[in-house]
Structure 1
């Protein structure tokens, strides 16, 4: 039995849960870093006198960076390892937050948001893959859902920081706080984060045997764990392998699902506080509803994990996506009443982040270990194109006179597209394990 099979079939050790916890912390900081702009948008817009379209481009800058990070840093993880990629990405994210706090014009802020996004994109790929690889088969769906919940927790904390810090020290203090927390995360990862087991066994870098045995001891498995015989590396690039006859259909369908769900999620999370403020709520009330969406996202990711540990990952994901479309429309229709907006904000956040959790669970299982980071990264990158498009499209449509209700109805239609893609996604042998 290989170490990979041993992990799949053994109870989760404390060290495995520590790895999941570190992934949660990184995703928490991602939520803080990504949504910091959503919670500071009103003050930034006022300081620089931005139009809705300009604000939309600014919101999309970080998402553009995340897309580039997922597309171009992910293949790097399959060459140098998951751990080095994560350390590099955390440094980039920290520098981006620091630079955002020190800007003097909004074009510079857009640049530093791209840098932040590059780091976050690399972090999401690495943490998603490591969480999947270090979880047992029984607890994999739940562990990934716990990991996904970190984004919502970070967004809630980001909203709390935004309200408190902006009132006392201005919006720049939010980004300084993000820099400090991200720098602290780097120190923690440097001390305790292990390399991917699948990377060590398939790529077999220098000292792979010693590293593998060291990880096995930390997991509570005694004895020696020899490396498998190294096979000849494929001549095709990992990028082309995700389009071979085995993966082509699944790749295209998961890309459609990622694009549609990320488009919807980032429209709701980025624009809702600003739209509600524009509709008559105070800035504090708009941020509060945004926090409720993020809080719901935390609960939804965990709830999804519990359901997916008992039933089909794909079917639960389809149910969450369908309900997201319905509740998004109900949410905006009830937004004139604060307590109803908060209630349905929790629900829409729970369902949409549950969808994200489902995609994170389903995606790594589609691809073999030697191209897993590439496959996951490309899917995330395609999803980020949807995330980039959502704020820009919303800003343009608002400037053209669209009402917020029409925007949310459009989001519901986009989510129905994801439902169709997931319904057509066949669960091959690689996916049945989840």
Structure 2
């Protein structure tokens, strides 16, 4: 390690080939906690929607706007806040975004009108969007090659866990203290996490080696020591990567193909995911099940999602991540195609719903894990953040498009089949993504 010929690439290869240490898993655990808080903060509007609507006498369209405000904020945060992590560091951006999200949640509890609440939901979304993109990158950068898929997938498991716990907590809080208490508890929990993150979340090693802020060598050696490696006498040679940060770099000749393919994949997977999670309870009822059965089917999607991301990560430790993700997409397409036909047997329908939850959540987790491996450190958060922003556009549009198609006479079965087709097309596109980080050969 003291060899002056050491390069950033050889150091990265050392970490990729070494066993994961407690320090590295600790960094991943903090990121999982961040995603758990984000899962609660994101779905809080859905859980409180009925109470908020009754409190201010909102129409369906007005409530829909409140539900969309957070997603729009998340897209903007992923697109315009997260990329600053490539310039100033992952850790400060996470801390700043926690402050934004926590303040937005606390102030939401005191909102005096639906318009104020919508604006504050957008502000909260800004922070959450920045956290989601940056925390996934940190997990990927601190994981070894073998466990990288699991490390990032656990973030999605944390998100699903936060959403599930949020639903349980909301039921208790609304009954005793009203809908405002749900926002207040979420905001306080988010703000209280800031000291823990300050204490336990390290700066990205890849960022320190590429951007080289003041004291980079000392900080790198501290982290190497905590991972059981020898210190460096000097920083290794810089990798052959862009020194600047910007969206334009994502569309240069060497990256254009991968970037465009990933953008389409993010749009397709997130659109499919939000169609399934948003419409399944309603479509099950329209297909002939009771309202209770419809809600149960929707709940099973979330329960399955808690296991799907972790399972994908474990599979990625044994097989190539991209092949695992493609397999998830194909299985998801098959399950979606047979879902509505399965409701003749309630037990079978619930089983298929849980399995759909496993695979569609795994698809999201897999794409989150794959994307950081495509971009080098100098533009990694920019690449992940823009992908997430494109995905948010799909998340916002898909439920509305599905509603319009239903109004025009489409059946639930046809919607699920088409959605499955989107997953198949996405699987094919991902097979065209060039593996490895940003090859130097032009791709278009």
Q: What is the TM-score with the length of structure 1 in the denominator?
A: 0.89
Distance in 2, matches of 1:100 and 1:169, equals 15
Structure 2 equivalent of residue 40 of structure 1: 48
Matched, 1:68 2:83: no
SS in 2 for 1:11: coil
Matched, 1:153 2:161: yes
Deviates more, 1:178-187 or 1:405-414: 405-414
Distance in 2, matches of 1:254 and 1:100, equals 34
Q: How big is the shift at 1:185?
A: 1.7
User: Is the CA contact 2:241–2:378 (under 8 Å) kept in the aligned structure 1?
Assistant: no
Distance in 2, matches of 1:253 and 1:174, equals 39
Of 311, 322, 330, the match for 1:322: 330
Structure 2 equivalent of residue 204 of structure 1: 212
Q: How big is the shift at 1:400?
A: 6.3
Structure 2 equivalent of residue 417 of structure 1: 425
Label 1:218 to 1:273 Cα distance change in 2 as closer, same or farther (>3 A). farther
1:92-127 per-residue CA deviation (whole Å, 9 max, x = no partner) reads: 111222222222332222211111111111111111
Distance in 1, matches of 2:188 and 2:341, equals 39
Unaligned runs of 5+ in 1: none
Q: How big is the shift at 1:22?
A: 0.5
Larger of the two Rg values belongs to structure: 2
Matched, 1:239 2:247: yes
Q: How big is the shift at 1:162?
A: 2.2
Structure 2 equivalent of residue 192 of structure 1: 200
Q: How big is the shift at 1:269?
A: 2.8
Matched, 1:366 2:379: no
Q: How does 1:338-353 map to 2 (within 5 A)?
A: 342-353=350-361
Q: How big is the shift at 1:399?
A: 6.4
Q: How does 1:1-12 map to 2 (within 5 A)?
A: 1=1, 3-12=11-20
Label 1:232 to 1:324 Cα distance change in 2 as closer, same or farther (>3 A). closer
Label 1:412 to 1:320 Cα distance change in 2 as closer, same or farther (>3 A). same
Structure 1 equivalent of residue 262 of structure 2: 254
Structure 2 equivalent of residue 221 of structure 1: 229
Label 1:381 to 1:196 Cα distance change in 2 as closer, same or farther (>3 A). same
Distance in 2, matches of 1:401 and 1:56, equals 22
Q: How big is the shift at 1:320?
A: 0.9
Q: What is the TM-score with the length of structure 2 in the denominator?
A: 0.87
Of 377, 381, 384, the match for 1:376: 384
Distance in 1, matches of 2:119 and 2:350, equals 33
Distance in 1, matches of 2:349 and 2:188, equals 33
Q: How big is the shift at 1:294?
A: 1.9
Distance in 1, matches of 2:341 and 2:67, equals 25
Distance in 2, matches of 1:197 and 1:31, equals 27
Structure 2 equivalent of residue 174 of structure 1: 182
Distance in 1, matches of 2:410 and 2:165, equals 31
Distance in 2, matches of 1:307 and 1:340, equals 26
Q: How big is the shift at 1:15?
A: 0.8
Label 1:143 to 1:91 Cα distance change in 2 as closer, same or farther (>3 A). same
Q: How big is the shift at 1:196?
A: 0.7
Q: How big is the shift at 1:14?
A: 0.5
Q: How does 1:300-311 map to 2 (within 5 A)?
A: 300-311=308-319
Distance in 2, matches of 1:50 and 1:338, equals 35
1:201-223 per-residue CA deviation (whole Å, 9 max, x = no partner) reads: 11111111121112122222233
Distance in 2, matches of 1:162 and 1:415, equals 33
SS in 1 for 2:81: helix
Q: How does 1:15-54 map to 2 (within 5 A)?
A: 15-54=23-62
Matched, 1:354 2:339: no
Label 1:27 to 1:235 Cα distance change in 2 as closer, same or farther (>3 A). closer
SS in 2 for 1:242: helix
